[in-house]
C-alpha cells in the first residue's frame, strides 16, 4: 500500500506539515457580502417565503475560515425554484435588466437540477436547487473541508459531517465518502486532492490513498476516457500555479496515474512520434522536480519579473511541452490546452515555444556572443520569454545530463549551478548591451517612408531593407536617420533595383 509517508520520503518534493491552521469561526463577512445576504433576508420577508433554505457552499466557506478571500458565491437553495428567487432579486435590485441566466444541469445519475446565475452588486452568484437535504449534499462533496456550509439565514457555519472544521484546522485531506462511491460522480477528484495537498501543505488521509490504489484501474480508465481535457486543464492550471507542483506530479507517478492525467496512451505511435515509455514518464517527474528547484533557487536573478500564477503555469506547461515534443500531437495535450486557453495564446503556441527553445539552445551551444546575434535572437524569441527559456533549458539539460533511472532524491549543486550559469550568461550579456527592449525596436525609417523616398522600389525588397536597418540599429549605438538613409542608398545601389 502507498501511504503518505512513502510519498513524503523524497526530500525534493516533500514539505514540512504546517502547524494547525488558525480558523476564523465565526467568519468575517465583507461589507458587500453582508449587503447581499441582508438583501436575501429582506426579499424573503417581503414575499412571505417560508421554509426556504439558503447556504453558501464550496470554496467560499473554506477560504473564509482560513481568512482568505474568495469571489465565488455558490449558493444552494431549497423551498423555492432558484429561477423564481433570482427573478425576485432582479426586480428589486437590477430593475428588470437582463442579469439572469437559467442553466439546466444533470447530475451523474441523470437527475436534472436548476441553476440560476445572477449578478448582484457586481458579484456573480450561482443559485443551485437543492432537492435533497443538506446532510446528503455534504456527503456527495469531495473533501470534508469542502463540505462546510454557511447558513445565510441563521448566520452560522454548519459542519454536518462533524469533521470539516477539524480537518481544515489540522491539515487533513479526507474524502466525504469512500472512493468507490465517488468515482462515477467525480472521476478527477484525485487531482483536486493533490492540488489542495500542494497548495495548503495538507496531509492526505492514509485510508483515502489506499482506496485510490485499490481502485487504480477505474481511475486510470476514467482519467483517460471519461474525464474531459477541459476539467483536467482547470485542475492542472491550479497545480502548476501552486506552491509545489512537483509534489503533485511525483504523487501521480507513485500512484501510477501520471500518464493518464497527461492523457497520452502508452502505446501511442504514428510515423512521426515515438512510444512514450516508463522512462519518459520518469523523466517528466524529474524535470518537474529540477524545474521547481531551479525556479525557487534562481528566480531572484531576474529583475522586475512578475512571478504570478500565469507565469508559473506557463513555465511548467512549457517544461511539459518540451518533454512531450516527440510523443504527441500538441493539439491534444493538457499542456497545450493550458497554454492556448488559460493563457489566451493561439493554438500554434506550443510549436512556437519548441522553435524558441531550439533556437535559444542552438545559440547557447554555438557560444557566438555579439550584440547583433543576441539582439536578433531576442527579437525572434521575445525578451519576455528569456527567464522562462533559461529555467526550462537548465532544467531539461540537468535531467538529461544526470540520466537517472530513478526519481531524483538529491541534486548535485555544483552541476546545477554550472548548468544554470551556462544559460544565465545570455541574460547577463543582454543586460550589458542594453538589449532589454530590442524586440520592441521599430525601424528608424519605416516602409511608408521608404516608398515615399524611393517610389519605384519593388515591394519584395522593402522587408529586406527594413531588416537591414533593424540590424544596424542593434549593432550601432546612436544610429541616426541620416545613417539609415546612407544604408538604404547603398543597398539599393547594390541590388540595382532602381
- Whole-angstrom Cα distance, residue 216 to residue 195? 19
pLDDT tier at 185 (50, 70, 90 boundaries)? low
Question: In angstroms, what CA-CA distances link 130 with 25, 33, 37, 58?
Answer: 25, 22, 18, 14
Beta-carbon contacts of residue 134 (< 8 Å; ≥ 6 apart): 53, 55, 76, 149, 158, 160
pLDDT tier at 347 (50, 70, 90 boundaries)? low
- Whole-angstrom Cα distance, residue 295 to residue 279? 24
Contact 4, 251 (CB under 8 A): no
Identify the burial level of 346 via C-beta atoms within 10 angstroms of its C-beta, where 0-12 means exposed, 13-18 middle and 19 or more buried.
exposed
- What pLDDT shows up at residue 153? 94
Mean pLDDT of the chain: 84
Which parts of 50-112 fold into alpha helices (H)?
59-65, 82-89
Strands 149-151 and 156-158: antiparallel
Contact 185, 140 (CB under 8 A): yes
- What pLDDT shows up at residue 360? 96
Taking 70 as the threshold, does the pLDDT of residue 450 lie above it? Answer: yes
- Whole-angstrom Cα distance, residue 162 to residue 361? 56
What does the pLDDT average to over 324-349? 63
Name the CA dihedral angle for 35, 38, 40, 42, rounded to a multiple of 10 degrees. -130
DSSP symbol at 161: T
433 closest CA partner among 358, 373, 384, 368: 373
CB < 8 Å & 24+ apart, contacts of 479-483: 479/444, 480/444, 481/444, 481/445
Q: Indicate whether this model's pTM tops 0.85.
A: no
Residue with more model confidence, 235 or 421? 421
Q: Please spell the DSSP secondary structure of 290-345, one letter per residue.
A: HHHHHHHHHGGGSTT----HHHHHHHHHHHHHHHTTTTS-GGGSHHHHIIIIIT--
- Whole-angstrom Cα distance, residue 431 to residue 426? 9
Contact 37, 242 (CB under 8 A): no
- What pLDDT shows up at residue 430? 96
SS3 labels along 106-157: ECCCCCEEEEEEEEECCEEEEEEECCCCHHHHHHCCCEHHHCCEEECCCCEE
Taking 70 as the threshold, does the pLDDT of residue 350 lie above it? Answer: no
Neighbours of 475 (CB within 10 A): 14
445 closest CA partner among 477, 493, 489, 379: 489
What does the pLDDT average to over 293-314? 89
Taking 50 as the threshold, does the pLDDT of residue 85 lie above it? Answer: yes
Taking 70 as the threshold, does the pLDDT of residue 477 lie above it? Answer: yes
- Give the whole-number percent of the chain exceeding pLDDT 70: 84
What does the pLDDT average to over 225-230? 79
Tell me the β-bridge partners of 102: 116
DSSP-derived 3-state class of residue 100: strand
Amino acid at each position: 500500500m502507498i501511504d503518505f509517508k512513502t510519498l513524503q520520503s523524497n526530500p525534493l518534493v516533500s514539505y514540512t506539515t504546517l502547524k494547525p491552521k488558525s480558523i476564523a469561526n465565526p467568519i468575517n463577512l465583507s461589507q458587500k457580502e453582508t449587503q447581499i445576504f441582508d438583501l436575501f433576508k429582506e426579499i424573503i420577508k417581503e414575499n412571505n417565503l417560508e421554509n426556504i433554505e439558503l447556504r453558501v457552499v464550496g470554496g467560499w466557506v473554506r477560504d473564509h475560515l482560513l481568512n482568505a478571500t474568495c469571489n465565488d458565491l455558490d449558493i444552494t437553495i431549497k423551498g423555492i425554484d432558484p429561477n423564481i428567487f433570482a427573478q425576485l432579486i432582479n426586480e428589486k435590485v437590477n430593475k428588470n435588466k437582463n442579469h439572469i441566466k437559467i442553466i439546466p444541469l444533470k447530475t451523474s445519475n441523470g437527475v436534472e437540477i436548476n441553476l440560476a446565475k445572477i449578478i448582484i452588486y457586481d458579484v456573480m452568484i450561482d443559485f443551485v436547487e437543492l432537492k435533497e437535504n443538506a446532510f446528503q449534499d455534504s456527503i456527495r462533496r469531495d473533501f470534508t473541508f469542502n463540505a462546510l456550509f454557511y447558513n445565510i439565514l441563521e448566520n452560522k457555519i454548519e459542519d454536518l459531517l462533524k469533521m470539516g472544521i477539524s480537518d481544515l484546522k489540522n491539515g487533513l485531506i479526507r474524502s466525504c465518502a469512500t472512493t468507490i462511491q465517488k468515482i462515477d460522480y467525480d472521476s478527477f477528484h484525485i487531482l483536486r486532492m493533490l492540488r489542495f495537498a500542494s497548495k495548503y501543505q495538507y496531509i492526505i488521509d492514509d485510508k483515502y490513498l489506499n482506496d485510490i490504489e485499490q481502485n487504480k484501474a477505474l481511475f486510470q480508465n476514467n482519467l483517460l476516457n471519461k474525464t474531459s481535457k477541459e476539467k483536467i486543464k482547470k485542475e492542472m492550471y491550479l497545480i502548476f500555479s501552486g506552491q509545489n507542483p512537483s509534489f503533485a506530479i511525483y504523487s501521480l507517478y507513485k500512484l501510477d496515474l501520471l500518464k493518464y492525467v497527461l492523457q497520452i496512451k502508452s502505446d501511442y505511435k504514428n510515423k512521426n512520434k515515438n512510444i512514450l515509455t516508463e522512462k519518459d514518464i520518469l523523466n517528466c517527474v524529474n524535470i518537474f522536480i529540477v524545474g521547481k528547484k531551479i525556479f525557487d533557487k534562481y528566480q531572484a536573478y531576474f529583475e522586475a519579473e512578475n512571478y504570478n500564477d500565469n507565469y508559473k503555469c506557463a513555465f511548467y506547461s512549457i517544461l511539459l511541452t518540451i518533454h512531450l515534443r516527440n510523443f504527441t500531437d500538441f493539439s491534444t495535450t493538457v499542456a497545450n490546452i493550458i497554454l492556448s486557453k488559460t493563457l489566451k495564446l493561439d493554438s500554434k503556441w506550443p510549436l512556437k515555444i519548441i522553435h524558441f527553445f531550439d533556437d535559444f539552445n542552438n545559440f547557447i551551444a554555438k557560444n557566438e556572443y555579439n550584440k547583433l546575434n543576441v539582439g536578433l535572437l531576442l527579437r525572434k524569441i521575445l525578451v519576455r520569454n528569456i527567464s522562462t527559456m533559461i529555467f526550462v533549458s537548465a532544467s531539461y539539460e540537468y535531467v538529461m545530463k544526470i540520466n537517472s533511472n530513478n526519481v531524483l532524491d538529491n541534486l548535485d549543486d555544483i552541476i546545477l549551478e554550472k548548468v544554470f550559469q551556462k544559460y544565465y550568461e545570455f541574460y547577463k550579456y543582454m543586460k550589458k548591451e542594453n538589449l532589454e527592449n530590442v524586440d520592441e525596436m521599430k525601424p528608424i525609417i519605416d516602409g511608408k517612408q521608404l516608398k515615399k523616398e524611393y517610389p519605384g522600389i519593388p515591394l519584395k525588397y522593402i522587408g529586406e531593407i527594413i531588416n537591414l536597418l533593424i540590424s544596424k540599429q542593434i549593432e550601432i549605438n546612436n544610429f541616426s536617420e541620416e545613417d539609415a538613409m546612407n544604408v538604404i542608398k547603398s543597398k539599393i545601389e547594390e541590388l540595382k533595383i532602381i
